[in-house]
Amino acid sequence: MSEKYTFDDFLSTVDGDNREFVRELHEELTKLGCKTEIKQAKSGYVVSCLQNKKTILNYVFRRKGLMVRIYPNHLADYMEVFDTISDELAKAIQDAPVCKRLLDPSACNSKCAMGYDFVLKGQRQQKCRSSAFFFLLTSDNRAFAKALLLNEANTAVQP
């Protein structure tokens, strides 16, 4: 039987700079109907936040620290969030791999969910779903991460 992990187990391993942010965001997402799944991996906990059985957020630990992977499935509904993005994070997103399926649907695994097609800083981006919004959580990008996630969660609960 696999061991059950709690959000508090995960939270106790989050660095002090991010702990309060992660706790508050978890509370807000929970109020919007999101469910949390927690698993143990080699590098620490892997935490997924799901809404309507679709993952909108993963937390994973790497040597650099706590990484966040966001899946903004309704991105077109709240593009104004990108007005608040830092230049550093914008560059990281721009440097993420291109989605092969957006360019040529036969170029990638047919089971692969197609990536994101959006405009960032005036340039069209066609990015892979797995890496487009995968970044180290820092004080400089917390506000953007929160805005992106809350917009996604709010959009997903609207009828």
**pTM for the model:** 0.91
Q: Which residue has 């997402």 as its token pair?
A: 29
Phi, psi of 8 (to 5 degrees): -65, -35
pLDDT digits (tens, 9 = 90+) for 89-134: 999 999 999 999 998 888 888 888 889 999 999 999 999 999 999 9
144 token code pair: 């953007």
Q: What does the alpha-carbon distance between residue 35 and residue 109 come to, in Å, rounded to a whole number?
A: 28
Q: How confident is the model at residue 2 (pLDDT cuts 50, 70, 90)?
A: low
Please state, in angstroms and rounded to a whole number, the distance separating the CA atoms of residues 112 and 51. Answer: 20
How much is the average pLDDT of 50-71? 94
Domain definitions of the chain by residue range: 7-157
Q: What does the pLDDT read at residue 1?
A: 43
Confidence of residue 159 (pLDDT cuts 50, 70, 90): low
